[in-house]
Amino acid sequence: MKMTAKKTKGLLERIRQGDIFQDISVIENIELNGSRLLKDEIVFPYVVCLNQECDLVNDFDTKERGKDSSLLHLAIAPAFIFEHFLSGSHWGKIFINGSTGKRSDTKIKAIIDNEIPRYHYLNFAEADMPELIIDFKHFFSVNRNMLYQQIGKRLCSVDDLFREKINQRFSFYISRIGLPV
Amino acid sequence: MDIPEILPMPAAAIPKAEIVVGKPIVPERIRTEYELSRKSDENDGKKDERSS
């Protein structure tokens, strides 16, 4: 099967473009109800950092936090286990099950070949990483410091060419011209 | 706004996560409730302090 991702050998102190984290939550709402505080969040099993690499470098190297080259939030996109994507159950109970597919289907083959702009398929050279798929329609931001505090949840960094490909395809998808329906 | 520094950490000291077998592997929506203590009542009526 075609390899579309490879881990870097080591990890840097700083977060890199394409870093994959595990169990990152995105706060949806915080509500005060009498003496009770209600926090709604979604925990994503896998997320990929989408920030531009030199922004992350400048942010990390900034000696004084609070300068405008510092980042407040980082962009992340959830990544899903490809087998769940095929079964349409990759969003769990958050969305109703999507359409199912087989690897032999023409559309799924196109997704695996990264020919459909909305999706990015990640098949790692390393056997310890599951097949993942990113759906560029969904992306979030997390507080920069909160993500650094959870750096121990980082599974891996993605090697240069592969991480740049993720961002190139993300920016292509997000900058598409919308046509009236 | 006071933004806390992230302490520099040698790369080797950064713990590396490993895939946990058996944990949920689809996104999960979670609601957590916190009971606030009465101390927070002391702030009632106080002006919200925000940076301008």
Type of residue at B4: P
pLDDT number for residue A69: 84
Identify all chain B residues contacting A13, using CB atoms and an 8 Å cutoff. Answer: 8-11, 14
**Which residue in chain B has the smallest CA separation from A64?**
B5
- Find tokens 């006071």 and name the residue: B2
Q: What ipTM does the predicted assembly reach?
A: 0.85
Range of the domain at A94: 20-174
Round to whole Å and give the CA distance between A151 and A19.
10
In a domain, A2, yes or no: no
Residues A69-107 pLDDT 10s: 899 999 999 999 999 999 999 999 999 888 999 999 999
Whether residue B11 lies within 8 A of chain A, CB to CB, comes out as yes
Higher-pLDDT residue of B22, A160: A160
Q: What is the mean pLDDT of residues A7-20?
A: 92
Q: What is the number of structural domains in chain A?
A: 1
**Could you write out the DSSP letters of every residue in B1-52?**
--PPPPPP--GGGS----PPTTS--S-EEEEEEEEPPGGGGGGTTPPP----
Q: Is the pLDDT of residue B12 over 70?
A: no
Pairwise CB contact (< 8 Å): A42 & B30 = yes
3-state secondary structure of A38: strand
Whether residue B21 lies within 8 A of chain A, CB to CB, comes out as no
Pairwise CB contact (< 8 Å): A89 & B26 = yes
Pairwise CB contact (< 8 Å): B27 & A89 = no
Residues B14-34 pLDDT 10s: 666 766 656 668 999 999 999
Rounded to 5 degrees, φ, ψ at A93 are: -95, 5
**Which residue in chain B has the smallest CA separation from A21?**
B17
Q: Is the pLDDT of residue A25 over 80?
A: yes
Q: State chain A's mean pLDDT as an integer.
A: 93
Round to whole Å and give the CA distance between A180 and A22.
38
In a domain, A179, yes or no: no
Question: Rounded to the nearest 10 degrees, how much is the dihedral formed by the CA atoms of A63, A23, A29, B41?
Answer: -70
Distance from CA of A52 to the nearest CA of B (A): 20
Structure tokens of B3? 């933004």
In a domain, A14, yes or no: no
pLDDT number for residue B22: 62
In a domain, A43, yes or no: yes
Round to whole Å and give the CA distance between A61 and A65.
9
Structure tokens of A88? 């349409």
| pLDDT band, residue A174 (cuts 50/70/90) | very high
Identify all chain B residues contacting A22, using CB atoms and an 8 Å cutoff. Answer: 17, 19-20
Whether residue B28 lies within 8 A of chain A, CB to CB, comes out as yes
Residues A139-153 pLDDT 10s: 999 999 999 999 999
In a domain, A64, yes or no: yes
In a domain, A4, yes or no: no
Mutation for A interface: B1, B18, B26, B51, most A CBs within 10 A: B26
Nearest to A80 by CA among A19, A44, A133: A133
Max avg pLDDT among A116-120, B4-8, B25-29: A116-120
Distance from CA of B10 to the nearest CA of A (A): 6
In a domain, A114, yes or no: yes
Mutation for B interface: A22, A74, A95, most B CBs within 10 A: A22
In a domain, A99, yes or no: yes
